[in-house]
Amino acid sequence: MARKLVKKRGKKVGAAPGTLVHVGDKTDTVAQIRVVDYDQEHLRDQRLKDPNACRAFKSGPRVAWINVEGVHEVHTVEALGQGLGLHPLVMEDILNTDQRPKVESYDDYLYIVIKMLQYDPLQHEIRPEQVSLILARHYVLSCQERAGNVFDGVRERLRTGRRIRFLGTDYLAYALLDAIVDNYFALLEQLGERIEALEEELITRPTPATLAQIHHFKREMLLLRKAVWPLREALAKLTRDETSLIAAETRIYLRDVYDHCVHVLDTLETLRDLLAGMLDLYLSSISNRMNEIMKVLTIMATIFIPLTFIAGVYGMNFEHMPELAWPWAYPAVLLLMLGVAAGLLVFFRLRKWI
């Protein structure tokens, strides 16, 4: 069954703006809150059970990274939003996992939406996940739909005390964005390998299952394009708009992420064109196979038409047919049929029809 590209909003339809309703996949897992607060000398990594405890990081002396895994718990997102002073519309968008990538500016923070994409090699499909980032002066809040390992590299850089520990929240937000966009390249590499294998299968022996795979990957390309195309506009806005939350030095790194996004789009369009060409190639291959079958059947029918005529003539029960009384009439007719068939085959060969 094909996966739906648009999520059902259910109770969200017709609700007042700012109504906190989760839109997305349901899960029974418990939301996890992990906070990493650090400065140049110290780092503390802890898990919090009470979302209200995050109030202390709103204006703390150190940089804080608050990561939430699981936005299906409305009360958790609501408590975090109230503690950090987030607008109700921002909390609403965090819970609505069908948002398009965007950047929105508020008085003392930026709200960024980006899609994290991972490839499932067993189902050969993309698993999208919405990630919401809140970039403030003293903290970065990241909200994920489920647990993952994409941000493990950022945590390792924080633990080893590299450059990221000496810079502010804007650089931390850049590192998170860069980790997500870099993961797109790994996704495209896996998709590219599968599509190339599908192309070889299409050339050698196409089947109806091959056509189903082509349509499947065309839908996956639509999902990928829906996630990456608006991201380019959002990243351009981050590098272009003037805000005190992003330093001039960090904008240079954000431009690098923007370049990576453009590269991803170029690769995506290449794969889409390849799939479109594969669909045409499949239809041409099926048509050519049908033409070859009809060609063989036509040649066989053409050879047997005169043989059927000869057999029909001598199968008539007329009394005065001189050939019927000849001793060698039967082998002579067989030789005549064989000669006619051989002559037709030679004629077809000379005309390069076979």
Lowest mean pLDDT among 104-108, 210-214, 257-261: 210-214
**What's the pLDDT tens digit per position in 156-184?**
888 887 778 888 888 999 999 999 999 98
State the Cα–Cα distance between residues 265 and 101, nearest whole angstrom.
14
The residues of the chain that CATH labels 3.30.460.20 are 18-285
**CB count, 10 Å around CB of 278?**
24
Please check the confidence at residue 233 and state whether its pLDDT lies above 80.
yes
Between 122 and 103, the higher pLDDT residue: 103
Residue 10: pLDDT band with limits 50, 70, 90: low
Please check the confidence at residue 80 and state whether its pLDDT lies above 70.
yes
Identify the pLDDT of residue 3.
58
* Token output for 234: 């959002």
Please check the confidence at residue 353 and state whether its pLDDT lies above 70.
yes
Q: What share of the chain is helix, strand, coil (3-state, %, to 5)?
A: 55, 15, 25
Please check the confidence at residue 253 and state whether its pLDDT lies above 80.
yes
Taking residues 299-305, report their average pLDDT: 86
State the Cα–Cα distance between residues 80 and 136, nearest whole angstrom.
14
The residues of the chain that CATH labels 1.20.58.340 are 291-350
Identify the pLDDT of residue 15.
64
Residue type, 257: V
Identify the pLDDT of residue 176.
92
Identify the pLDDT of residue 11.
55
Can you say how many angstroms the Cα of residue 311 is from the centroid of all Cα atoms in its chain?
A: 63
Please check the confidence at residue 22 and state whether its pLDDT lies above 80.
no
Residue type, 141: L
Identify the pLDDT of residue 281.
81
- Residue 135 DSSP SS3: strand
Closest to 126 in 3D by CA, of 258, 5, 229, 43: 5
Report phi then psi at 21, rounded to 5: -135, 130
Residue 312: pLDDT band with limits 50, 70, 90: confident
State the Cα–Cα distance between residues 3 and 41, nearest whole angstrom.
48
Please check the confidence at residue 270 and state whether its pLDDT lies above 60.
yes
Please check the confidence at residue 137 and state whether its pLDDT lies above 70.
yes
Instruction: Judge contact between 131 and 180, C-beta under 8 A.
Output: yes
Residue 1: pLDDT band with limits 50, 70, 90: low
Taking residues 47-68, report their average pLDDT: 84
Taking residues 50-62, report their average pLDDT: 82
183-189 contacts at long range (C-beta below 8 A, 24 or more positions apart): 183/116, 183/117, 183/118, 183/150, 184/117, 184/228, 184/260, 184/264, 185/260, 185/263, 185/264, 186/119, 187/117, 187/118, 187/119, 187/126, 187/224, 188/264, 188/267, 188/268, 188/271
Indicate the Cα dihedral angle 89, 93, 99, 100, nearest 10°: 60
- Residue 222 DSSP SS3: helix
Identify the pLDDT of residue 25.
75
Assess if CATH 3.40.1480.10 describes domain 291-350: no
Identify the pLDDT of residue 4.
59
Burial of 200 (0-12, 13-18, 19+ CB in 10 A): exposed
Identify the pLDDT of residue 262.
92
Residue 128, strand partner residues: 117
Give the CATH class of 18-285. alpha beta
Residue 6: pLDDT band with limits 50, 70, 90: low
Taking residues 109-113, report their average pLDDT: 90
Q: Would you tell me the crossing angle of helices 208-240 and 248-313 to the nearest 10 degrees?
A: 160
